[in-house]
Structure 1
Amino acid sequence: MTLDSSPIVAIATAPGRGGIGVVRVSGKNLGTMVTAICTLPQGAALQPRHATYTNFVDADGSVIDQGLALYFKAPHSYTGEDVLELQGHGGPVVMQLLLARCLQAGNGIDLRMAQPGEFTHRAFLNDKLDLAQAEAVADLIEASTEAAARSASQSLSGVFSSIIHTLVEQVTQLRMLVEATLDFPEEEIDFLEKSDARGKLDTIRSSLDQVFQQAAQGALLRDGLNIVLAGQPNVGKSSLLNALAGADVAIVTPIAGTTRDKVTETIQIEGIPLNIIDTAGIRDSADAADDVERIGIARTWAAVEQADVIIHMLDACRGPTLADEHITARFPDNVPVMRVWNKIDLSGHRPAIDRLDNATHIYLSATDKLGMELLRAELLRLAGWQQTGESLYLARERHLIALGAARLHLNAAAEHAALNDHALDLFAEELRLAQDRLSSITGEFTSDDLLGVIFSRFCIGK
């Protein structure tokens, strides 16, 4: 895929006021623009990779700002092209004036505004980053926890890509062996036995399983888990949200129907982001106080449908009711359910956890914060989190899909290998398909449409 090669410019720092703001330019023939904007001594030029203090001037010579100009000569830059960064004071008006001046001064070289992610897209196309590393740039910016930021940094440094490249190389080597045998069938009678093709394949499959497990952990760090609190009014959903968040983020009163709409709070447990969604209490629409509460109940069920985990809140003082059974019956079949019996400070129960076939039951008090550690540990277990002690790399859903597809192709290759040398052509084809799916992670085989989707989600200026 090729982009419009015109020089591009954008403000590279976040909107709002700050001590420093950066305008970034990437492209060819930036010299005339530098001369027009920066007040350099007669005949002087910006030295590559050196900061130069200068005035940034308008077309009439008036000073817009004072700051540092940095020039990075291709290919030794973020994008692989010539890059100019103008670092001035971080006021929004100053930045807009400097951006407008760059566009004016770059008129002769067809300078235009950058699209979201276009600087990183050019870095990918110019082989400065592979696709997994490029995605890690956005993930590092958007990281919501320290663990996610560290893992994104691992991916950006190429750890994940290196592992994928190793897998691809192993698959490629085995594929070459198989295809060479197909080309010269008379020279090989028992290829699978003599080359230990099955053993090599088993090794690759084992490595892929380990990578998939690590990637799943990384995806959890990136995306977190959506946990919906559902149950009848006044069972303590908002109190539990406040206890988990460590702050009064939801209003708590003894009045039924206090929570009218969902309230979302992101918390961290061992660095894992968990999006806790408090919802309106569920009761029969005829019992709702007004239309607002009825709409809130409808939104509760909509949130339940999108949940990764459902916490069904119940009152330990009164035990299960028919209304609780009706609520349980409407939960989706494929979503894990945790039944939390609240108010044990009033019921006389002790903090406890009971794992049954259909659900886990936890007894706690959100008000007195009894049994909260049991809940936190169970949430991590349901999330599939395993503290391995290893540095994780951040992964995305598309990475998991590609790894899963590659695993299916390798499993199919193993089935063909069981037929001895009678299905070597099918064996080779499954290896090729597995190789393609693994290579799509780093962008060696990736559709233009997918690239467009990935980079359009970046912030402008990156």
Structure 2
Amino acid sequence: MLPRHHDPIVAVATAPGRGAVGIVRVSGRDLVPLIGAVCGRALAPRQATYLPFADADGAAIDQGLAIHFPAPHSYTGEDVLELQAHGGPVVLQLLLARCLEAGRDIGLRIAEPGEFTERAYLNDKLDLAQAEAVSDLIEASTEAAARSASRSLAGGFSSEIHTLRDRLMTLRMLVEATLDFPEEEIDFLEKADARGQLERIAAQLDAVLDRARQGALLREGIKVVIAGQPNVGKSSLLNALAGAELAIVTPIPGTTRDKVSETIQIEGVPVHVIDTAGLRETDDEVERIGIERTWAEIERADALVFLHDLTRLGEPAYDAADAAIAKRLPTTLSAGARLVPVFSKCDLAPPPAGAAGIAVSTRTGAGLETLRRRLLELAGWHASPEGVFIARTRHVQALRRTRDHLALAAAQADSAEPALDLLAEELRLAQICLGEITGEFTPDDLLGEIFSRFCIGK
């Protein structure tokens, strides 16, 4: 561990602001002297004790609960002291300053973001996937995301990864044993059922990857941009999807001059919907800037709802403008990979015969449910009967790299003259990719990036 990981640390563990209760948390080695200075007495392990918190002169800063968790039976695996006081910011800052003063001789310092959880990981209280789930549970924006993060924190995701790793290690052991003893002339591929083992591992990996992709959607959501010409109903559609009057709706073209964003839930998946300025030629400088921002949002969209006004279809100028917008769309959108054509105001005019798209009415609600389902399908969402676990983009990428290495290993196993050394190497690389998820093979710079995104005190 780096030298800083041996320093005792302290932080306010509750959110900034006023509340009924606030917590100051300390973690380090041998906190008994600090406990005596702040609490005025020794504390029974893992028992809440009501007492005054004393300043350097012995006067009470506040009265509250103190709990001592001796190592290794604590969140971080070190000695941990939690002081639960009244939740005023002045009280908590006084208590924090008192801890720093009392802990000066042992080098107590303010904790960095995520450092308590980082120490839990370094002291084998959590693996890296579980540590990340702590942050994901705190930041969950939907009930489904919170439940999935809780499953990952409890070890559901890690257990799946460990099972895959153990099966890979067993297969590696057989392959490498054959390499070490070629004189035995063992027909390894048939007697060890290498092909069958690889197929079963690959099938299990695909199942885990599918659930991880679902978990990544629950964590990160999907970004949906609503775009089209002015007055086609973009703001009305945002309001209808959100169930609230978020964007101003008027018959005046160019009302929306900057993006309006709202996060909604569809089957527990966060959907970040962005209403944008209408796309048209304009001499208005403010509106022109808004249109440039619209195109920037379209480039970054996971899905684009391209809105067409049914009451204006057939007008030469309108149709020409729609065609010009479609021609400028990014290739991935114009090819249909992330494009959702939607026809608005279907309560006033019917959609054209044979048109590919979803007809909606924000006034009657027609077609809105179909649009919601289409957005989820586009994101790749489907409900898993076994439940999903929260996952991050890096987890999904690591699983995909694992699958690539297994495919190369299978190609070696299926060849007429398999090279067992290459087969063994692909299995080793696959195991390393899995280890990146749980932290067995993780560089320090990645750890720093992961834990720096946590809140202070966690």
The TM-score normalised by the length of structure 1 is 0.95
Alpha-carbon deviation of 1:87? 0.3
Alpha-carbon deviation of 1:189? 4.2
Equivalents in 2 of 1:348, 1:429: separation in Å?
61
Equivalents in 1 of 2:261, 2:119: separation in Å?
37
Residue 317 of structure 1 is matched in structure 2 by: 311
The CA deviation string for residues 278-313 of structure 1, in whole angstroms up to 9 with x for no partner, is: 1111101xx24x211111000000100110000001
| Match runs of 1:59-458 below 5 Å | 59-284=56-281, 287-288=282-283, 290-319=284-313, 321-335=319-333, 336-349=338-351, 361-458=357-454
2:212 alignment partner AA: A
Equivalents in 2 of 1:422, 1:223: separation in Å?
42
Residue 25 of structure 1 is matched in structure 2 by: 26
Alpha-carbon deviation of 1:348? 4.1
Equivalents in 2 of 1:250, 1:457: separation in Å?
32
Residue 14 of structure 1 is matched in structure 2 by: 15
Equivalents in 1 of 2:370, 2:209: separation in Å?
28
Equivalents in 1 of 2:294, 2:418: separation in Å?
57
Alpha-carbon deviation of 1:367? 2.7
- Give the 3-state SS of the residue equivalent to 1:266 in structure 2: strand
After superposition, the CA RMSD in angstroms is 1.4
Q: Residues 51 and 68 of structure 1 are in contact (CA less than 8 Å); yes or no, is this contact kept in structure 2?
A: yes
Out of 30, 49, 52, the position equivalent to 1:52 is 49
Equivalents in 2 of 1:366, 1:390: separation in Å?
36
Equivalents in 1 of 2:173, 2:58: separation in Å?
65
Alpha-carbon deviation of 1:368? 2.6
The CA deviation string for residues 65-117 of structure 1, in whole angstroms up to 9 with x for no partner, is: 11000100000000000000000011111111111111111111110000000
Q: Residues 178 and 186 of structure 2 are in contact (CA less than 8 Å); yes or no, is this contact kept in structure 1?
A: no
The CA deviation string for residues 105-133 of structure 1, in whole angstroms up to 9 with x for no partner, is: 11111100000000000000000000000
1:2 aligns with 2:31: no
Equivalents in 2 of 1:53, 1:421: separation in Å?
74
Out of 438, 451, 455, the position equivalent to 1:459 is 455
Alpha-carbon deviation of 1:149? 0.2
Segment drifting more, 145-154 vs 416-425: 416-425
Q: Residues 191 and 421 of structure 1 are in contact (CA less than 8 Å); yes or no, is this contact kept in structure 2?
A: no
Q: Residues 131 and 442 of structure 1 are in contact (CA less than 8 Å); yes or no, is this contact kept in structure 2?
A: yes
Q: Residues 29 and 109 of structure 1 are in contact (CA less than 8 Å); yes or no, is this contact kept in structure 2?
A: no
Q: Residues 128 and 438 of structure 2 are in contact (CA less than 8 Å); yes or no, is this contact kept in structure 1?
A: yes
Q: Percent identity?
A: 64
Equivalents in 1 of 2:25, 2:379: separation in Å?
41
Q: Residues 343 and 351 of structure 2 are in contact (CA less than 8 Å); yes or no, is this contact kept in structure 1?
A: no
Q: Residues 134 and 153 of structure 2 are in contact (CA less than 8 Å); yes or no, is this contact kept in structure 1?
A: yes
Q: How many residues align?
A: 449
Equivalents in 2 of 1:319, 1:39: separation in Å?
80
1:396 alignment partner AA: R
Alpha-carbon deviation of 1:39? 3.7
2:262 alignment partner AA: E
Equivalents in 2 of 1:398, 1:77: separation in Å?
29
Equivalents in 2 of 1:389, 1:267: separation in Å?
23
Alpha-carbon deviation of 1:421? 4.9
Equivalents in 2 of 1:21, 1:208: separation in Å?
43
- Give the 3-state SS of the residue equivalent to 1:139 in structure 2: helix
- Give the 3-state SS of the residue equivalent to 2:279 in structure 1: coil
Structure 2 residue runs without a partner (length 5+): none
Equivalents in 1 of 2:185, 2:407: separation in Å?
24
Equivalents in 1 of 2:63, 2:399: separation in Å?
50
1:340 alignment partner AA: V
